[in-house]
Every structure is written in structure tokens, then in C-alpha cells.
Amino acid sequence: MKTLKDVGEHNAIAALTANLKTVGDDCAVLPLDTHYDLVLTTDPLISGIHFAPDTPPEQIGWKAAARVLSDFAAMGADPQYLLINLVAPPEQEFQTLEKIYDGVSRLRKLFGVDLVGGDLSQGPVLELHVFGVGRVPKGKALLRSGARPGDIIYVTGLLGGSFANGKHLTFMPRVKEGKWLRQSGFVTAMMDISDGLATDLRHILKASKVGAALDSTAIPKNGTLEQALFDGEDFELLFTVRPEDADAFDFQCLEDLEQSFPRIGTVTDQPELLTLDGTVLKRKAFEHFKGES
């Protein structure tokens, strides 16, 4: 009998959700009314997997909520509500849980998001399951499937070393940038980087049926190139812009955001082929259940 470890996380999700058409982007986008689409997402945060048991509790709460807000950022959507299922052992100190909620509250207040429900249950280790509800103007959500050959590939910030330097616990989700990028009208595809640039870019390539050529010198690195490509948990936005719009886009970024985003590569017409400096890039991704780290 095959176990989850044999199958791997991404394959397992793909197999279990094969007949559901809305799964695949960072959030599900569903019709709401004449003006808006409903945007839904959920992320787990599990002790020993997503954070070390000795992590300060405020940071646990912050990360749990920030991961979900980053999913909204990835679609250019507005997060509105959160619900949290908390799991904890009976011997868990109650004060720790209060501090976890403080971490959630600190972040959700920054973005005007309400915590409206959830549950608390006994279990072997500390876990948070955060469910997010929001909206986006009808038909305007940025998907992974919109990249076209020739598009320029951008990223919003430094990649790599997030686990080592603690950024994965304190990062600011790119909600404002995501919304601006959507409103700019220049972006053709977008997602957030949770599993590492090399792995997540492949999701865009698959969904858009295109390839990509990356330029190693252009990738903004926090550490080595290897780390920038494979570490994961950066929670920066990865997006593509039509080549004829790229200069206007760069200008508009400086004008509105007072910053520019690096161009790290180009979309090609070779489906799912990812190259780095002209050489095919091998897969090496963190994936749950397969024991790599």
C-alpha cells in the first residue's frame, strides 16, 4: 500500500482534488455578486513542521495569519475575515494561547481583517488552521495561468534564508503590493513564493503552459543562489508583466510605490521547461512527507 510519504504532498493534493476545478491557485475564486468575486483560502501551521516548539507564541500567531494574508496578496485580493481552528494538548499553558491570539490580532489589525470565529480542540501538538475570506473585483483576480511567452518575470523582494534568519515568522504579507499590482493592469500572472522560487515558478509554468528562463545574477538573494532558488517560505510575490508594458510598469512602481522590482527572467514558449542562465534547472524542492528539508 502506498503511504503519503511515497506519494508526496503535491501529488497527493493533485490526486485528492483531481475533480475540483477551483483548486490550484493560492485561493479559490467564486462568484459572489455583480461587482465582486468571493476569495477563500486556508493554511495549516503545525508545531514541528511549520515552526519549532520553542518559537515565541506571538510569532506563531503572526505567521499563521500572515500565510493566509499572503494567499490573498497572491491574487491581488482584499482579505476581510479570518476563522481559526486551534489544536493544543491539555497540558498547554493557557497564556501561550493568549499570546498566539495577540500575534494574530496585531497582524489582522494592520490590514483591517476581522477574526469572526473558530474552534479549539484537544490534540497531540499545537496547531493553527487559519481560514480566510475576502473578495476581489469580478474577474480581476490574478491567477497562475495568465503568463504568456515573452512576459517579464518579477519578484517583490529578497529570496532565501527565511528559515535560518527567522523571516518566515515575522514577514509582512504583500497584501498592499498585491492589490496595487492587480490594479495596475500590467500583471498577467501572480502567486506567492512559499515553497521556493524554483518550485513555485513551475506552478505558473504548468498553469500557463509556458517555460521560463531565469537570470541568476538578477535574482535578489538573501544568502546563496541555491538558497534563493530552493529555501522557501519567502512569501514574496512572483509575477509576470507583458514585455511591451515592462518599462511603463517599472516607471509606475517608482511613481506609486517608491520602489522598483527586479526583473529575474523571461517567459518562454517551451511548456514547463525552466532554465537558469541557459541550463535546465533540476528539481529540488522542499516537500512535506518526503523527508527533505
| By the rule CB under 8 A, 16 interacts with its own copies | yes
Is residue 162 a contact partner of residue 233, using CB atoms and an 8 Å limit?
A: yes
- Nearer residue to its own copies within complex by CB, 62 or 154: 62
At 103, is the secondary structure helix, strand, or coil? helix
Are the CB atoms for 42 and 129 separated by under 8 Å? yes
Q: Per CB under 8 A, which region of 85-93, 177-185, 237-245, 272-280 contacts its own copies?
A: 85-93
Binding mask 274-293 for its own copies (x = CB under 8 A): --------------xx-x--
Q: Show contacts with its own copies in window 128-187 (CB under 8 A).
A: 129, 131, 133
Q: How many residues does the chain have?
A: 293
Distance of CA 170 to the CA centre of its chain: 15
State the Cα–Cα distance between residues 248 and 121, nearest whole angstrom. 51
Q: State the minimum distance, in angstroms, from the CB of residue 44 to its own copies.
A: 4
Strands 127-137 and 36-46: antiparallel
Using the rule CB under 8 A, which residue among 62, 78, 125, 205 binds its own copies?
125
d(CA 213, CA 211): 7
**Which CB, 142 or 267, lies closer to its own copies?**
142
Position 254 contacts its own copies (CB under 8 A)? no
Annotate 39-84 with three-state secondary structure. Answer: EEEEEEEEECCCECCCCCHHHHHHHHHHHHHHHHHHHCCEEEEEEE
CA distance 43 to 195: 13
Q: How far is the CB of 233 from its own copies (least distance, A)?
A: 14
The residue range among 8-16, 158-166, 171-179, 258-266 that interacts with its own copies, by the rule CB under 8 A, is: 8-16
Q: Which of 51, 62, 72, 101 binds its own copies (CB under 8 A)?
A: 101
Q: Applying CB under 8 A, which part among 113-121, 180-188, 222-230, 239-247 lies near its own copies?
A: 113-121
Q: Of the ranges 89-97, 214-222, 249-257, 258-266, which one interacts with its own copies (CB under 8 A)?
A: 89-97
How many Å separate Cα 96 from the centre of its chain? Answer: 27
Exactly one of 52, 106, 109, 114 binds its own copies (CB under 8 A); that residue is 114
Query: On the CB side of 50, how many CA atoms lie within 13 Å of its CA?
Result: 23
151 Cβ neighbours under 8 A, 6+ residues apart: 188, 189, 240, 241, 242, 243, 266, 267
Number of residues that bind its own copies (CB under 8 A): 66
CB of residue 17 to its own copies, shortest distance in Å: 8
In the complex, the residues that contact its own copies under the rule CB under 8 A are: 1-7, 9, 12-13, 15-17, 20, 22-23, 27-28, 30, 32-33, 38, 40-44, 46, 49-50, 81, 83-95, 97-98, 101, 114-125, 127, 129, 131, 133, 288-289, 291
